[in-house]
Chain A
Amino acid sequence: MGCRGMEESMKIIFDSNSENEAFARTVIAAYITRLDPTLEELADVKTAVSEAVTNCIIHGYSGTEGDIEMQCDIQDHDVWIEIVDHGVGIPDIAKAMEPLYTTKPEWERSGMGFAFMEAFMDELEVFSEPGKGTRVKLKKHIGKKAA
Chain B
Amino acid sequence: MKYQEREQEGIHYEIQRNCLIIYVNQDLDHHAVTYLRERSDRLIEAGNIRHVIFDFRDADFMDSSGIGLIMGRYKKVMFRGGKAAVTNVREGVNRIFQMSGLYQIIEKYPTPAEAVFGVNQKREGQTVHGLSRNGGKHEDHI
Contact = CB atoms under 8 A, between A and B. Distances in A.
Contacts of B105: none
Interface in B18-60: 27, 29-31, 33-34, 37
Contact of B27 (A25, A57, A111): A25
B109 interface: no
A51 interface: yes
Given A25-B61, A43-B92, A46-B61, A110 B31 contact: no
Interface in A39-64: 39-40, 43, 46-47, 50-51, 54, 57-58
Interface stretch (B64-72, B115-123, B128-136): B64-72
The A interface is mostly helix, strand or loop, or mixed, namely helix
Nearest to B99: A119
Contacts of A57: 30
Given A18-B34, A51-B64, A110-B64, A43 B95 contact: yes
The 4 closest A-B pairs by CB, nearest first: A18-B31, A112-B64, A110-B68, A108-B68
Interface of A: 18-19, 21-22, 25, 39-40, 43, 46-47, 50-51, 54, 57-58, 107-113, 115-116, 119
